[in-house]
Structure 1
């Protein structure tokens, strides 16, 4: 993993939604990427130093149905706008991560359209897994595999050398243009052996590039080891954080922390409590007093944390399983941060406090949690590194509680009273303790 990633904390953005872009492709270029430039200082004020972008390449609708990997989506701007955004970010010391949709392309991608126009002799026929009719005629599309039932998302054939070459060229092209790394969309649907064929050439050209795969389920460690990735997304932890807190069943979270510690032995996961594909954490937790607990866990565990834009202001949004069901979690943002409601400031200041604490303890990037105490509504775990040790104590109950805190020396964040090897938390309280 590139050394700079140890200090990375990402602010993740879905540009098409963030900038209020049209829902479908346009011919005229709309210069919306400068909208994101006006938020770079907000990212820094929060304490982040990375901008993780959702899809920015030409597509037909939501960005994940790419039609040209080498062109900025006209709804967002052009290549000059991209260059300006990267330059503005780098001038502030902010890294830029791109979203690579390489499991599939949009049905309107020229490479796929060529199949209907030219049939089995199309030069891009080996990009896909077509099933041709017995008697093909011009204008007839073959049957193909699509991604998770979405007809507009045509899956690529990852055994094809042409697809290996395409993805390699795309990744290197935008790294050459100034990007610092890639999030590999739907990496769980791509054989990890494919990444092992692509990434050596990418790393030869850009050894400092960071590559993280979106892996929801499956063998995380194998995806990293076989694919040659730096990390994968830690969905197991995300599930345990929101569900364990919402159900007041911290045994679930404690079990996941043990799993997380095992992952940290071989790689540093991408950690989060919200992203563009899930209901916002402030909506999924019915008791808003427990929102801080989720963020405390995120920023006190080993991992490379990412803040889903808006979560730092307690945005609400429920994902629905229907067309347009992601809109609520991918809303337009004001022209600049001055347009944010002051109602979100307490959550913003909480993020600043927790990210500041993490910055003062940079060893947290690889710190594996060790369970100290667990009950349905209480949890204490320890993290240690570089001769330091912290305790994290959580209370979801309506009553105050006294919890074991071996070696506690003081309160670094949150509200608590400490005694000899114990900590007293108020109802629904939390604390990060020196130990």
Structure 2
């Protein structure tokens, strides 16, 4: 999937975005701490997100998942706190794949129509819509109450007398009943608050394997105990009970993959998730983020993604894969568009931001991924990672600014930011389940820095501090340049090592590289140092000057971020020389005029 321009994804935790309540009581109820709604994404809010420089919005936590708030008055069964993480519940413990989280609706009885309206508003604002599909596991008590006629919910027709059968949706422990984990380290569901179902008992007989693969009838409290693992035709010994792709299919397109699976007998869960994905496409969703995709066999992805692409060739398919040895398999055989670039670029940038790593490692990462660089989505925050501004990460959101410039401009891949990142949200609230440094995805909570930008749902930054406004202005400048730059979809070349060798005063706290297309040529440099400015004459090597077709002489450069420095590059002896002063945490995107 090659886009004509850079993609910028804005991940938003849907139930937190519009919440203006500032109580923030640990383990607080919806009534105490408040909750955001679909309706809070007003045309004004969505236009502000678009104006930030965003092309796609990922609404996290849309499918109906297990939660403690009681919606039985609307015909939804209550969930047991003993197998729900937090009070608002994990968005990755889906209870009904054909409906949406009732928390998000102004009228829970009309929740699906409210989501359809959100999709329409998002499209009107010029944003494409992504939601999660969680293929590896579902809620411990999956019901699928909204499953259409002609389909069956997960587990409804399983033979529970056997551990494994290819067409069972789950794995079972015949003769054993599920037992709630033994809590320790002071943990109690709901923080120990009383609840009629918080009794240490959850009926599940026979017990099923837990989402992370635990085969214990009593999983550990650190297991994904709130979920059960989906069976894709992988036997308990790890062997496959389905056909594998023939050799050479990594070179074939999605149409060939679709034709390969047409008419073949596949496990029932494959068909169920196919139907689920196509259902959401029919609702107007433009793509999916797949949770823990590497825990599901790649043949399933070939099957699912080829069906999706046959319906919508432009669908955006993003997978959470952390094992670099599997990257190319999931891209080429699994027909993924994009994967998280977590353990390569993100981890490297985090070490540099924290002062542990050198910028020397960035070109090593880029070179190692060059054949798939377009497919590696870049980010500095998401719902799983520590907030940049948290003391556990950087302690100051400004320390992420040079890394954001590098992350957003290094390759042709999409860039992602997490809501609140652009105003320096530190994730400091003790919401209940889990620890601060990550904005809670399990409990009802307000997000203070983001709430100041919302400014009573005016979405104008009117209550933001000066520092928050300056940070958001930086993100807006950067991202709007990114989505409009032709060069960022063109060639990349490192000039960092060349300058380390040939430029006095240049060192491993600085990073530089060039990007270009036929119509645009860029020199980029970032200073990761928090206290040191660098004065030097940055050099552009002879091979790049030749590739750009430049002759001896002087060429004006324009900084596309702030325009504070617009130096002249002198080409002498075939090498470009650019005099620069780069202040602490400063970056330049210099365009040849």
Q: TM-score, normalised by structure 2?
A: 0.65
Tell whether the 8 Å contact from 1:107 to 1:113 is kept in structure 2 after alignment.
no
Is the Cα contact below 8 Å between 2:208 and 2:228 reproduced in 1?
A: no
Higher relative helix content: 1
Which of residues 35, 44, 52 in structure 1 aligns to 2:40?
Answer: 35
Shift of 1:156: 0.6
Match of residue 188, structure 1, among 289, 294, 298: 294
What aligned pairs does 1:19-98 form with structure 2 within 5 A after superposition?
19-20=18-19, 32-37=37-42, 38-60=44-66, 61-77=89-105, 78-98=111-131
Q: Which has the larger displacement, 395-404 or 60-69?
A: 395-404
- Structure 1 Cα separation of the partners of residues 367 and 136 of structure 2: 31
Alignment gaps of 5+ in structure 2: 22-26, 67-88, 106-110, 144-152, 179-202, 214-222, 234-265, 441-445, 501-506, 546-554, 571-576
Deviations 1:333-389 (A, max 9, x none): 445224651331111111121123223313414544424335321211112223432
Match of 1:261 in 2: 370
Q: Which residue of 2 aligns with 1:290?
A: 399
Deviation at 1:323, TM superposition (A): 3.1
2:374 matched to 1:341? no
Larger Rg: 2
Q: Would the aligned equivalents of 1:237 and 1:260 in 2 still touch at CA under 8 Å?
A: no
Task: Please list every run of 5 or more consecutive structure 1 residues that lacks an aligned counterpart in the other structure.
Answer: none
Shift of 1:411: 3.3
Q: Deviations over 1:239-273 (max 9, x none)?
A: 11222232162123332232343422xx4322211
Residue pair 2:93, 2:140 contacting (<8 A) in 1 also: yes
8 Å CA contact 2:388, 2:396 repeated in 1:
no
Give matches, 1:6-405, under 5 Å. 6-20=5-19, 32-37=37-42, 38-60=44-66, 61-77=89-105, 78-110=111-143, 126-133=168-175, 140-147=205-212, 149-159=223-233, 161-218=267-324, 219-235=326-342, 236-247=344-355, 249-264=358-373, 267-283=374-390, 284-286=393-395, 289-302=398-411, 303-317=413-427, 323-325=433-435, 328-330=438-440, 331-332=446-447, 333=451, 334=454, 336=457, 337-338=459-460, 340-343=463-466, 344-365=468-489, 367-372=491-496, 373-374=499-500, 375-397=507-529, 398-405=532-539
Residues 1:430 and 2:587 aligned together: yes
State how far apart, in whole Å, the 2-side matches of 1:113 and 1:220 are: 31
Greater RCO, 1 or 2 (C-alpha within 8 Å, sep 6+)? 2
Q: Distance in 1 between matches of 2:166 and 2:414?
A: 38
What is the CA RMSD across the aligned residues, in angstroms? 3.4
CA 1:192/1:425 → structure 2, altered by over 3 Å: closer, same or farther? farther
| Superposed displacement of residue 169, structure 1 | 0.6
Kindly indicate whether the alpha-carbon contact (under 8 Å) linking 1:274 and 1:280 is maintained by their aligned counterparts in 2: yes
- The separation in 1 between residues aligned to 2:269 and 2:174, in whole angstroms, is 20
What is the CA–CA distance in structure 1 between the aligned matches of 2:297 and 2:29, rounded to whole Å?
Answer: 30
Match of 1:127, SS state, is coil
Structure 1 residues 238, 115: closer, same or farther in 2, change over 3 A? same
Once residues 427 and 393 of structure 1 are traced to their aligned partners in structure 2, the CA distance between those partners, rounded to angstroms, is 11
